[in-house]
Structure 1
């Protein structure tokens, strides 16, 4: 396994969360910018850092002014109900497709271990600059039916190509 979990501030689990929002830098950083805004607006707490050997070797200074190796950050946003929504994002992603897949599998295994039932990936796609739509492209037909029954804007015809 190439994924090291660095638990932060005394945390040792994923707070019993059931939903996780995930995004990495990509097309216009749309998804990452959305997660960064959610984290900032809702005073998200950092639960863990995920260090993976596939991330580019670019250390940065963290919010405490300490040198931090490349990582993805898992943060928790407290809801009024007392439950949490998780977010996962970082400043980079693996550059090679096979490493992207390997890291994704290890993150999915971690989320499954902590019984996260929904993973929602936020991403942008190249399109006309004036197009400002948000929609969902699910990965299973049963989840698509569930989302449609809840009134979500689910697409069956796009994106039709590109790096999905």
Structure 2
């Protein structure tokens, strides 16, 4: 049975009508890149660190050449200028199996309920067999009302028959939260479905949606600068990755298909 070590590392200010945004590693790391950018740009306060024996059995070497256990972190950011209070969930990893994913998601919902959170947004990627020039954004969830609130002209909410199952915490938070009368949506952006590909263009499209809807005051100029730097670092890999896809990498779907993996 999984054990969850939740360490309080900061004191949250009083929150009112807070919205939770989740962005953990998954296909293209689309959600993680977007969530990490929000945390950095808003200078959010970290309040919890979560470690577990249900996370991968490894450690990460940090910039100080020391090691860190894999962890998931919870941040808070008070709203200002018309923006909403936020609880931000991000980290290095996801739970490694189905049972622990359920247990972890329930534990997160317990934390959110303690802050009286009623609305959740999860972020992720839709894996394609090619690199999209301009990733499309899709929207689904457990509440038609919340979906309508977040709909924008460039978003597609017709996912049935197009996108496969939403796997992992990003999906389970949508389903399990409904049992607690919480509203939840997933904002998903297309990306190349290779495990070595970083879907920064998809992250950018998601951040545009959140920036407009939530008045996050994110610097899109800074976002553009960061994305160009990341893309330059990985440009040399792209042709090799596309060649691998043509050779039949089993986890990649055909060019006309889409599948959400995590």
> Is residue 155 of structure 2 the alignment partner of residue 156 of structure 1?
no
Normalising by structure 1, report the TM-score.
0.79
* Pair 103,144 (structure 1): closer, same or farther in 2 beyond 3 Å: same
Please state how far the C-alpha of 1:110 moved relative to its aligned partner: 1.7
Residue of structure 1 equivalent to 2:15:
16
SS at match of 1:119: strand
Cα separation, 2, equivalents of 1:103 and 1:3: 8
Alignment of 1:40-51 (within 5 A): 40-51=40-51
Q: Which has the higher contact order (CA 8 A, sep 6+)?
A: 1
Contact 2:19–2:84 (CA<8 Å) still a contact in 1?
A: no
SS at match of 1:124: strand
Segments ≥4 residues shifted beyond 2 Å: 1-4, 57-70, 81-84, 149-154, 156-160
Residue of structure 2 equivalent to 1:107:
108
Equivalent residue pairs, number:
159
SS at match of 2:93: coil
Query: Between Structure 1 and Structure 2, whose CA radius of gyration is higher?
Result: 2
Cα separation, 1, equivalents of 2:64 and 2:13: 22
The 10-residue stretch of structure 1 (30-39 or 40-49) with the greater mean CA deviation from structure 2: 40-49
* Pair 114,73 (structure 1): closer, same or farther in 2 beyond 3 Å: same
RMSD: 2.8
Please state how far the C-alpha of 1:7 moved relative to its aligned partner: 1.1
SS at match of 1:156: coil
What are the ranges of 5 or more consecutive residues in structure 2 without an aligned counterpart? 168-262
Residue of structure 2 equivalent to 1:59:
59
What are the ranges of 5 or more consecutive residues in structure 1 without an aligned counterpart? none
Alignment of 1:20-99 (within 5 A): 20-60=20-60, 67-81=67-81, 84-99=85-100
Contact 1:135–1:154 (CA<8 Å) still a contact in 2?
A: yes
